Structure 1
Amino acid sequence: MSELIRVMHIMGHMMGGGVEATVMNHYRHIDRDRVQFDFVVDSDSTVVPREEIESLGGRVFVVPPYKKLPLYSSACEKLFREQKPDIVHSNINALSVFPLRAAKRAGVPIRIAHSHSTANPGEHAKTLVKNMLKPLSKLYPTHLAACSKYSARWLFGDKAVDEDRVHIIKNAIDLDKFSFNPRTRSRKRAELGVTDRQLVIGQVGSMCFQKNQVFTLNVFAEVLKQRPDAVLVFVGDGPMRADVEARADSLGIRDNLRILGVRTDTSELYQAFDVLALPSKYEGLPLTGIEAQAAGLPLVVSTNISDETFMVDTLIHPLGLAEAAKTWATLLIESARYTYGSNNEQRQQLTTQGYEIHASADTLCSWYETLISSTHHSY
């Protein structure tokens, strides 16, 4: 392709979560002489890496939040008509129906709906909206994408997946950043104020219903009965932070808790942890699960998470959320890593499965070019 392809990514409410990290990982490593990204973000976003995006040649466009639907839709359509992107790639799951409808009205030739997640019946209002919108998920996109077959089936249905109509874009990462380094481990643990002998449990993700941090706190209270000097580290922020802090106070475990907020050094923090808690109520394919495996970090995970997430079997310890907090606590303690060394084996497994970012970014670039070429040939 001789002309630069401009892809406008719809990001919704940006708050430093895994979807944003996945898109940014690909943006950093894609050949920007062939493909350039622009980002459409809601005005109520809290974490927008504008400076980095602009340094890489991209642009950030701000629209009203999707909750103000008429304003949101008209702003998107106006933006698409003015900017005339080659591709609109929407990353907001079932809500993609709205920006892609606007993109179709604006005459954007290639419109991608990307499923990054699923749903949980316990999240009543959100799940109701998702279930109402799912039948419309294939109405406005010209192409479908997903982070896993599990998330693809959830949004687009079995038939679309079985007929190979969903393009899988793995939540790939820069594996080099996650290679274990004992000096990094010592430095990050010192920053956290913990000794070599203390058990450090980590959890990385937005503080929300889906990621289930309150459940982790209840489990951690049981951990402290066996390991009184243990420390729990939350990386991330979100709408349930106040609830998390209140629960920690009510359990009397605040002194053993570190809430770090949104961080840019997550790859180093994994090395400070001894085990990762991943008790999600639902997931598409959690980026943190891939990152932890690349770092050689054991994971205790809920059985609600798709098996597609896990490549390094020796690191994975699944458990149902209905199990007692004491059972979770015992498994976290028993699963913690106590030896460290080369993680070449898990790196090779992740590379083979398509989670190496350089290869994934090149594949994505080629896919965009193929879509453009096919569209031109159809005229």
Structure 2
Amino acid sequence: MDRAGIETMLMNYYRHIDRDKIQFDFLCNKTKPGAYDDEIKNMGGKIYRTSGLNPAKYPKYLAYMKNLFAENPEYRIVEAHNGALGVYTLHAAKVNHIPVRIFHAHGASITKDWKLPIKLFCKSRLKANINHNFTCGIAAAECYFGKRVVDDGDYELIPNAIEVEHFVFNADIRKYLREKYKLQNKNVIGHVGRFMTQKNHSFLLEVFKQLSEKDNQAYLVLLGDGELMESMKQKARELDIVEKVLFVGNVGNANEWYQAFDVFVLPSIWEGLPVVGVEAQTADLPCVFSDCVTKEIGFSDKAQFVPLKAPMSGWVEALQSALSMKERSDNSALIREKNYDIKNEAIKLQNRYLKLAEET
């Protein structure tokens, strides 16, 4: 439970539900502590840690889950958020007679890494182990449930809602952060995302290299951490832009950093419906997304999509165009109109859970 897109979405809902009626407990497949652990425990949630999702050790995993459900007979709903590998938990829930088994789709594609054959097999087993289809967006629903399910409307859309008031443009916060980090005269390109292949940091650094050659005030700020962070720092050194790139790390004030940015960029290889895109547009930032990011996220007139296969110059021009949009204002009405206000959406989800529990 670190500060990443899905985890942050879960925490947004968890903070705003009535925890006297609904309680979230978390099943994590990594043993290391997460950034949200203490907050979860303070709100009454439990965190369980499995030994991992090694296919060769599935009997051990199944035994762990059997014990977990036997010791906690109050669980009526299990909801998986970790892509196709979520079928491990959902199958364990099915064989242990958990009545409500939800798969929550977040990605519009499946990462093509060495785990791909395993993921494809797991995806093929989802339908047999779930009885409710949740999704953050249409593209994610089509990826995991198929076009027929989408055409039939056999899914439930759960928006990646946020605490709107925390992200609305604030000139005072912008001034404070830009002064603190000596960014007053910079054209700040901002990115928020875990350092992993999906987020395409290597490409972003190459684009920024070309932008900085045309704009000596250009500055890149990267929020997040992950397994590729050190290699991206090395790449920045190799591109001779290290003095123009700030690696902030995994911080708890991303909402403030959006105020300091001039442009938000997300050149991802794939996305479902990224929370960061909602956050950035709430801050009324011009946004440059890759064409592999679902178009559903482009609800502001300051959002544009650039093909990943476009010449590098096309990306530079898009960023330059975005930098020319200087005016920022309160964008909260648009965000609420699009159903991304967590105060409203948490009540809807809470009522849905209660109804599902009553039906069992």
Change (3 A) 1:192 1:71: farther
Q: Describe the SS at the equivalent of 2:18.
A: coil
Identity of aligned residues (%): 33
* 2:88 counterpart (80, 98, 104): 98
Does residue 363 of structure 1 match 2:351? no
Counterpart of 2:28 in structure 1 is 41
Q: Describe the SS at the equivalent of 2:24.
A: strand
Structure 2 distance, partners of 1:262, 1:73, is 33
Q: How does 1:80-99 map to 2 (within 5 A)?
A: 80-84=69-73, 85-99=75-89
* 1:231 counterpart (194, 219, 223): 219
TM-score by length of 2: 0.95
Count of matched residue pairs:
357
Counterpart of 1:118 in structure 2 is 108
Deviation of the 1:47 alpha carbon: 2.5
Deviations 1:198-250 (A, max 9, x none): 10001101111111011000001001111123210110111111221121111
Please say if residues 26 and 361 of structure 1, whose CA atoms lie closer than 8 Å, have aligned partners that are also in contact.
yes
Counterpart of 1:51 in structure 2 is 38
Q: How does 1:258-277 map to 2 (within 5 A)?
A: 258-277=246-265
Counterpart of 2:163 in structure 1 is 174
Structure 2 distance, partners of 1:356, 1:304, is 25
Structure 2 distance, partners of 1:120, 1:88, is 22
Counterpart of 1:291 in structure 2 is 279
Change (3 A) 1:190 1:73: farther
TM-score by length of 1: 0.90
Deviation of the 1:349 alpha carbon: 2.2
Deviations 1:63-120 (A, max 9, x none): 1122354433332232122112121111112111100111112221111111111325
Q: Describe the SS at the equivalent of 1:291.
A: helix
Structure 1 distance, partners of 2:327, 2:20, is 40
Q: Describe the SS at the equivalent of 1:260.
A: strand
Deviation of the 1:337 alpha carbon: 5.5
Counterpart of 2:65 in structure 1 is 76
Moved over 4 A (4+): none
Q: Which runs of 5+ in 2 are unaligned?
A: none
Structure 1 distance, partners of 2:190, 2:98, is 43
Structure 2 distance, partners of 1:223, 1:373, is 56
Q: Describe the SS at the equivalent of 2:285.
A: coil
Change (3 A) 1:118 1:125: farther
Structure 1 distance, partners of 2:62, 2:236, is 40
Deviation of the 1:46 alpha carbon: 5.2
Change (3 A) 1:115 1:186: same
Q: Which runs of 5+ in 1 are unaligned?
A: 1-13
Q: How does 1:195-274 map to 2 (within 5 A)?
A: 195=184, 197-274=185-262
Counterpart of 2:295 in structure 1 is 307
Give the aligned CA root-mean-square deviation in angstroms: 1.6
Structure 2 distance, partners of 1:246, 1:340, is 35
Does residue 348 of structure 1 match 2:333? yes
Counterpart residue type for residue 121 of structure 2: M
Please say if residues 88 and 111 of structure 1, whose CA atoms lie closer than 8 Å, have aligned partners that are also in contact.
yes
